[in-house]
Each structure stands twice: as C-alpha cells, then as structure tokens.
Amino acid sequence: MTVKQLYEKLDARIPKSLSCEWDNDGLMCCPQPAKEVKKVLITLDVTAEAVRAAIDGGYDVIVSHHPMIFKGLKSINGENYVAEKVIDLIKNGISVFSFHTRLDAACGGVNDCLASLLALENVQAFGECDIGRIGILPSDMSARELAQKVKGLLGAEGVWLSDAGLTCRKVAVLGGSGGDDIDAAIALGADTYISGEFKYHSMTDAPEMKINLIEAGHFYTENPVCQAIADMIAEIDKTVECELYYSNRVRLI
C-alpha cells in the first residue's frame, strides 16, 4: 500500500466533513505519495522528538491527532520550529497525516474511546459538530470515586475535581478542551462532565451550575485514540507495522 492509498483509506473512515470549520487537518506533509508504507508511527503530537524517532526508526508515515501545521507557514526555513520539522521530514521521505477534530467526532475516535473506557451505555453525540459523547454509567458512584477511576483508566498523574455533590450517573465526555460545551452537557441532563481542561472559573462555578467537572488533562483524555488509530490501520492493511509514540512533554511536579 502506498502513502497516498493509506491516506485515502483513513480519510474515508475519518472524513473531512466531520472537521470543525476552524481546524487545519489532513495531509500535512507528503514528499513521496507513491512510497510503499511499511512502518507507521502513531502519536498525539508531532513533536521534534517524535520526528527524530520516525527518522531513526525508518518510519514511512507519522499519523497524529494534533495537526503538525495549524497556522499557515509563511516560509520554510530553519528559523521556524514547525518549518524545521517539515524540512527534516521531507529530507527523509516521511509523510504526516493529522486527524484532529474529525477524529474527535468520528465513530471510534477520541470520544468514543473515552466513552468505551468508562463503559458508558446509551451513548449519543453532543456539543460542537457532535464531537462529545454522553451516556449512562453501568452503576452510580460519587464524583470522587469517578475521578479516581478516570485517573487510573487514563494513567494520569492527577485529576482536578469540582464536586457539585451530585451522584454520577449521566456522564458527558470530551477529550482535550471541553470548556465551551458545559452548557450543552447540562442541557442534556449530565450530572458529570469529564474533559481534558476547563477554565478556572468554570471549575469554581460548577457546584452552582449543578454539574460535577473532572479535568483529567488534555494529553491523557486524547491519547487513548492512538491505539484506535493503530487498530484502524491494521484493519486496512495488517502487513503495516504500527508503533505508538508517547508524546507527552508536560509533567505534574
């Protein structure tokens, strides 16, 4: 399978039509579209270290969640850290596919992964572009119990909890930055909303808004999708070797 063919297969499963209007995702870099794909490195972020790992490991493609190029590049030179990565990738014949908000919204994407980890039932989409998910826990638990469960399931170093004193049963999830969809979660009857990050005042006001908020980290709430991408590629072509790269640079000290 060529680079172009793999991208087309993934693009069909994670269609551009699901992307938010403001997003920039898709085929970030493709120096050799006819190159045979033998090895794919899957990462949440295309960091300089991820690029180096792809070069040193002889990978043909990097597939990421966050776009390698988000704002438009005005020049390609070594003075810009994004352009520098592009130069290194092109020199080494490595392509980059980034699926961002469309992977949030897609079936089997970021938020389906979160819903699955929590074993939510009767799951439905909510929020901007139907990116988030909302469903029912298998059994009721306190906000503190759920926060501890989320921490363990995601392997997070810590989570922030704003406890409104509500029993957790109907739970909304949205990986990454979910602060803009708190009202949407409340409108659908969620007693608890889990996301990667909320604004301070949202966390402070949560008890008055009558919703528990659990902030589990942008990276940790989205990283489970990397395995889902690997599974997707395996279904497309089981001969392609996939490896997950752990791109988290942020540490709780």
pTM of the model: 0.95
Q: C-alpha angle 222/229/52, rounded to 5°? A: 80
Distance separating alpha carbons of residues 47 and 43, to the nearest angstrom: 9
Sign of the torsion formed by the C-alpha atoms of 229, 230, 234 and 236: positive
pLDDT of residue 73: 85
Q: Where do the domains of the chain lie?
A: 3-99, 107-222
Q: Give the model's pLDDT for residue 77.
A: 86
Q: Give the pLDDT score at 71.
A: 86
The architecture (CATH level 2) of 3-99 comes to: 3-Layer(aba) Sandwich (3.40)
Identify the pLDDT of residue 161: 98
SS3 state at 92: coil
CA-based angle 247:226:155, to the nearest 5?
65
Phi-psi region of 246 (alpha: psi -120 to 50; beta: other; left: phi over 0): beta
pLDDT at 152: 98
The rounded distance, in Å, linking the Cα atoms of 160 and 175 is 15
Encode the chain (253 residues) as per-residue pLDDT tens digits. 999 999 999 999 999 999 999 999 999 999 999 999 999 999 999 999 999 999 999 999 999 999 999 988 888 888 899 999 999 999 999 999 999 999 999 999 999 999 999 999 999 999 989 999 999 999 999 999 999 999 999 999 999 999 999 999 999 999 999 999 999 999 999 999 999 999 999 999 999 999 999 999 999 999 999 999 999 999 999 999 999 999 999 999 9
- Give the CB-side neighbour count of residue 139, counting CA atoms within 13 A: 3
- 192-197 vs 212-215, strand pairing mode: parallel
- pLDDT number for residue 147: 98
Report the 10 Å Cβ neighbour count for 61: 25
Distance of alpha carbon 3 from alpha carbon 71, whole angstroms: 24
Q: What is the pLDDT of residue 212?
A: 98
| 3-99 and 107-222 have identical folds | yes
Q: Cα(194)–Cα(199) distance, rounded to whole angstroms?
A: 13
Class level of CATH domain 107-222: alpha beta
The number of residues making up the chain comes to 253
